[in-house]
């Protein structure tokens, strides 16, 4: 059994990754269109192209990591080697040069591709470590739960701090510089966390890939559980990205600036600013509650059944969100629904990672190849395809429905803009019916997923005999 410190150390890694990923997913589209100065169409193409490249590069990194052999293990060394570049790339991504529009667009492509390449180089080996830290399927779920608990903790910190950081630096400098300085703070924290992950974790299972790269790919492409899980996981990430990338726009144009949550009890009056960062960060805390429920629920219901049940509830809650009124009472209901939805997505995140570990065990038994890195890189690939499609779709849909972007002065002054009704309807659909449809597709795909509790028990038994 792994120690508590090792589980916490493993959690630090995704705490670091998630601090970056959530800022990218939720604020980068808004940054590109309202701060950096790109058009919605150009920003959408940028997000799609760069993240597709990032997704394609994941299997390459998985193959490289599978064939790495050092005294620290196969995957763990990359946490130390790549962490400094990870932080530098994030800072460059949120830097706005004073160049012409065309030059800035090229800069955006170069820095985004660089950031996503570095993200792949550290996150794929980090994810693959789950397959070699323990051979017990249930303990993998525990490790995965620690990972996601700390991931959502990091997301909460980043999202809760982001707008206050930007506003703090904005008081002394330009808007573009404020966003850059805010990322410098986040990037420094991410570097420290990855170093702690390297120091506190260990690889226990010694797996060696003895087959060719071509055979690894052929085995992967013939792996039916892998295909099904990829599709289901892509839908889950698409669900999160569509909602998350819409929130900043939703608050700016549906709810408006300066709105408050009001609570009155007898002589006690309480007011809290209701802004996008609060909405998102409360969701991250609720995600952590969901993560804590994953292991016991998975033991009770099985991973496949739990996956389908969670998505069914997400459909109901997402559709209901559409009908919440924009009013003081409605604000509380929005926050309550965000909590419930986030608890469910919190259950899903470690569940999906644990299911990838099961797919890796299935592949090792059936194809006699230790392609853990390649299997786990596919999970990162699904995450990034979901992010690419979701982020681009939000921007393109808003452009198609006539959304009006803000100028620098309007953004600084938090000016209200009279958006067309079509754009407002689009924003409401992006927070409700569209993610609900994606969750329905995830259920249909997962119905055919074959790795049940009974099947995995048999696979783990056979693997233990083969490894003995």
pLDDT at residue number 331? 93
Please state, in angstroms and as integers, the Cα–Cα distance from residue 120 to each residue in 127, 170, 217, following that order.
10, 31, 18
Most confident range (mean pLDDT) of 150-154, 284-288, 447-451 is: 447-451
- The DSSP secondary-structure symbol of 6 reads H
Per-residue pLDDT at 434 exceeds 90: yes
Is residue 323 classed exposed, middle or buried when 0-12, 13-18 and 19+ CB atoms within 10 A define those classes?
exposed
For the chain, give every domain's residue range.
4-467
In tens, the pLDDT along 180-237 reads: 999 999 999 999 999 999 999 998 877 665 556 667 777 777 889 989 998 998 899 8
Query: Dihedrals φ, ψ of 245, to 5°?
Result: -70, -20
Report the percentage of the chain scoring pLDDT > 90.
Answer: 41
- The DSSP secondary-structure symbol of 268 reads E
Per the CB < 8 A criterion, the answer to whether 371 and 390 are in contact is no
CA distance 379 to 220: 13
In tens, the pLDDT along 86-103 reads: 999 999 999 999 999 999
Average pLDDT score over the chain: 86
In three-state secondary structure terms, 134 is: coil
Q: Which long-range contacts (CB under 8 A, 24 or more apart) does 363-368 make?
A: 363/219, 363/220, 363/223, 363/226, 364/207, 364/463, 365/459, 365/462, 365/463, 365/466, 366/219, 366/223, 367/219, 367/223, 368/211
Torsion sign (Cα): 280, 313, 386, 217: positive
Torsion sign (Cα): 330, 333, 339, 341: negative
pLDDT at residue number 87? 95
pLDDT at residue number 147? 87
Q: Average of pLDDT values for 275-280?
A: 85
Please state, in angstroms and as integers, the Cα–Cα distance from residue 236 to each residue in 134, 160, 379, 393, 446, following that order.
26, 23, 11, 15, 11
Q: What is the token pair recorded at 150?
A: 């700390």
Q: Average of pLDDT values for 373-394?
A: 74
Q: Minimal CA–CA distance to 228: which of 60, 352, 59?
A: 352
Per-residue pLDDT at 341 exceeds 80: yes
Per-residue pLDDT at 370 exceeds 80: no
Most confident range (mean pLDDT) of 25-39, 202-216, 318-332 is: 318-332
- Residue 134's pLDDT band (cuts 50, 70, 90): confident
Q: Minimal CA–CA distance to 120: which of 44, 158, 197, 65?
A: 65
CA distance 142 to 339: 23
In tens, the pLDDT along 146-177 reads: 888 898 888 888 888 888 899 899 887 888 99
CA distance 465 to 451: 19
pLDDT higher at 253 or 388: 253
CA distance 134 to 131: 7
pTM flag (> 0.85):
no
- Residue 55's pLDDT band (cuts 50, 70, 90): low
CB atoms within 10 A of CB 211: 14
Q: Which CATH class is domain 4-467?
A: mainly alpha
Most confident range (mean pLDDT) of 10-24, 138-152, 216-230, 330-344 is: 330-344
pLDDT higher at 124 or 109: 109
Q: Average of pLDDT values for 392-419?
A: 76
pLDDT higher at 80 or 67: 80
- Residue 266's pLDDT band (cuts 50, 70, 90): low
């Amino acid at each position: 059994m792994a120690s508590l410190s090792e589980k916490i150390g493993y959690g630090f890694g995704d705490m670091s990754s998630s601090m970056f990923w959530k800022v990218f997913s939720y604020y980068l589209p808004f940054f590109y269109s309202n701060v950096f100065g790109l058009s919605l169409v150009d920003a959408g193409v940028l997000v799609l192209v760069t993240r597709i490249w990032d997704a394609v590069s994941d299997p390459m990194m998985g193959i490289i990591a599978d064939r790495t052999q050092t005294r620290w293990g196969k995957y763990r060394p990359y946490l130390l080697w790549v962490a400094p570049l990870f932080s530098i790339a994030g800072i460059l991504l949120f830097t706005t040069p004073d160049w012409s529009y065309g030059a800035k667009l090229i800069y955006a492509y170069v820095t985004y591709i660089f950031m996503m390449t570095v993200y792949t180089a550290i996150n794929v080996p980090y994810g693959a470590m789950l397959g070699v830290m323990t051979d017990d399927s249930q303990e993998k779920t525990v490790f995965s739960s620690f990972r996601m608990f700390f991931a959502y903790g990091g997301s909460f910190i980043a999202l809760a701090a982001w707008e206050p950081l930007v506003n703090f630096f904005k008081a002394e400098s330009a808007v573009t510089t404020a966003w850059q300085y805010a990322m410098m703070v986040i990037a420094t924290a991410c570097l420290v966390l990855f170093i702690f992950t390297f120091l506190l974790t260990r690889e226990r299972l010694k797996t060696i890939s003895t087959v060719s790269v071509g055979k690894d790919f052929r085995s992967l492409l013939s792996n039916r559980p892998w295909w099904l899980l990829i599709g289901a996981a892509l839908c889950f990430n698409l669900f999160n990205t569509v909602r998350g990338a819409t929130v900043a726009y939703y608050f700016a144009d549906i709810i408006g600036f300066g709105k408050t949550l009001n609570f009155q009890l007898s002589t006690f009056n309480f007011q809290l600013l209701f802004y996008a960062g609060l909405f998102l960060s409360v969701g991250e805390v609720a995600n952590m509650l969901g993560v804590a429920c994953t292991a016991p629920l998975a033991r009770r219901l099985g991973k496949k059944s739990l996956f389908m049940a969670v998505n069914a509830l997400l459909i109901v809650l997402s559709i209901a969100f559409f009908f919440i009124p924009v009013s003081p009472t409605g604000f509380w209901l929005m926050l309550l629904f965000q909590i419930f939805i986030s608890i469910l997505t919190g259950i899903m995140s470690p569940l999906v990672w644990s299911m990838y570990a099961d797919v890796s065990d299935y592949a090792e038994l059936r194809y006699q190849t230790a392609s853990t890195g390649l299997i786990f890189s596919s999970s990162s690939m699904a995450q990034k395809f979901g992010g690419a499609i979701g982020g681009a779709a939000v921007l393109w849909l808003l452009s198609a429905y006539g959304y009006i972007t803000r100028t620098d002065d309007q953004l600084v002054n938090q000016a209200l803009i009279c958006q067309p009704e079509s754009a407002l309807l689009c924003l409401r659909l992006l927070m409700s019916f569209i993610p609900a449809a994606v969750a329905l597709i995830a259920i249909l795909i997962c119905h055919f997923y074959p790795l049940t509790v009974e099947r995995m028990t048999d696979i783990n038994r056979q693997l233990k005999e083969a490894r003995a």
